[in-house]
């Protein structure tokens, strides 16, 4: 189930960025996710200000060499995964 493009994702209570052995991680209840380049770019924009569509547009600019359609589907897939982990609220 893909998130609505006009919704504003925000990290849920108890979910925040952290660092471990020079590696950025997303900390959440009983779990931590390693963040690489693109996943960190996405999570940093889950601030309740950006819409899903804006996140897609901004990452398409950062990763301009990649197929825009592929960037969009990767982002939607990653946001769904974070939602399943209950790491996001959508306003």
Partner 1 sequence: MNSAPTAPINPLALIAELTHRCPLHCVYCSNPLELQSRANELDTQIWSRVFREAAELGVLQADFTGGEPLARTDIIELVRAARIAGLYVNLITSGLPLDEAKLDALVAAGLDHLQLSFQGAREEIAAEISNTKSHAQKLRVLEWLKSRRVAVTLNFVIHRRNLDQLAELLALAESSSATRVEFAHVQYYGWAFANREQLLPTRAQVANSIEFFKCAQQRLSGKIRIEYVAPDYYAKYPKPCMGGWGRKLVLITPSGEALPCHAAKIIPELKFENVKDRSLREIWEFSDAFQKFRGESWMQGPCKTCDRRELDFGGCRCQALLLAGDPAATDPVCSLAPTREKVDAILKAVNEPSAEQSLITPAWLYRPNPQHSGPLRSSIGVDDGN
CA dihedral (49, 51, 54, 58) in degrees, to 10, reads 60
Q: Check residue 15 for interaction with partner 1 (CB under 8 A).
A: yes
Closest separation between CB of residue 81 and partner 1, Å? 10
Please identify which residue in 2, 4, 6, 16 interacts with partner 1, judged by CB under 8 A: 16
Question: Roughly what angle, to the nearest 10 degrees, separates helices 37-44 and 52-62?
Answer: 140
The Cα–Cα gap between 24 and 53 comes to 24
Q: Return the residues of window 58-77 that contact partner 1 according to CB under 8 A.
A: none
Residues that bind partner 1 (CB under 8 A): 1, 12-16, 18-21, 25, 27-30, 32, 83-86
């Amino acid at each position: 189930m893909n998130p609505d493009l006009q919704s504003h994702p925000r990290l849920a209570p108890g979910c925040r960025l952290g660092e471990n052995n020079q590696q950025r991680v997303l900390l959440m209840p009983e779990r931590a996710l390693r963040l690489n380049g693109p996943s960190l770019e996405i999570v940093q924009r889950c601030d309740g200000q950006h819409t899903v569509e804006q996140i897609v547009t901004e990452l398409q600019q950062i990763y301009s060499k990649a197929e825009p359609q592929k960037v969009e589907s990767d982002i939607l897939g990653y946001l769904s995964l974070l939602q399943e982990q209950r790491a996001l609220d959508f306003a």
